[in-house]
Amino acid sequence: MARRTYGLDPVKAALHARVARAYGDRRDITSRLNWAALVALADAPEPIRQGFEERVVAGERVVANDIRRARLRP
């Protein structure tokens, strides 16, 4: 529906949907992160995501590159 209404390509529509599912009701997260960080966080595996969510709620500054680097660590 969003793709047709707003002319979003399928990849962008999927990103919007993923972020909305993960954080649509989490104003404590969405108010503190930019779009790139929200996308990276919504796409991260659960243990990484939970750790970063805790850090964000605690007031730490988190950026998309932090989340991406955490995914690469063994």
pTM of the entire structure? 0.84
- Average the pLDDT over 9-27 and give the result: 91
Reported confidence tier of residue 1, pLDDT bands at 50, 70, 90: low
Scan for tokens 């989340």, then name that residue. Answer: 67
Residue 6 scores a pLDDT above 80: no
Here the tokens at position 66 are 């932090």
**Domain definitions of the chain by residue range:** 2-72
C-alpha to C-alpha distance for 58 and 30, rounded to whole angstroms: 14
pLDDT given at position 8:
79
User: Which pair of structure tokens corresponds to residue 59?
Assistant: 């007031």
Q: Determine contact, residues 16/38, Cβ cutoff 8 Å.
A: no
Beta-sheet strands, E only, within the chain = none
- Output 1 or 29, whichever has higher pLDDT: 29
Confidence of residue 3 (pLDDT cuts 50, 70, 90): low
pLDDT above 80 for 4: no
Q: Residue 33 and residue 36: Cα distance in Å, rounded?
A: 8
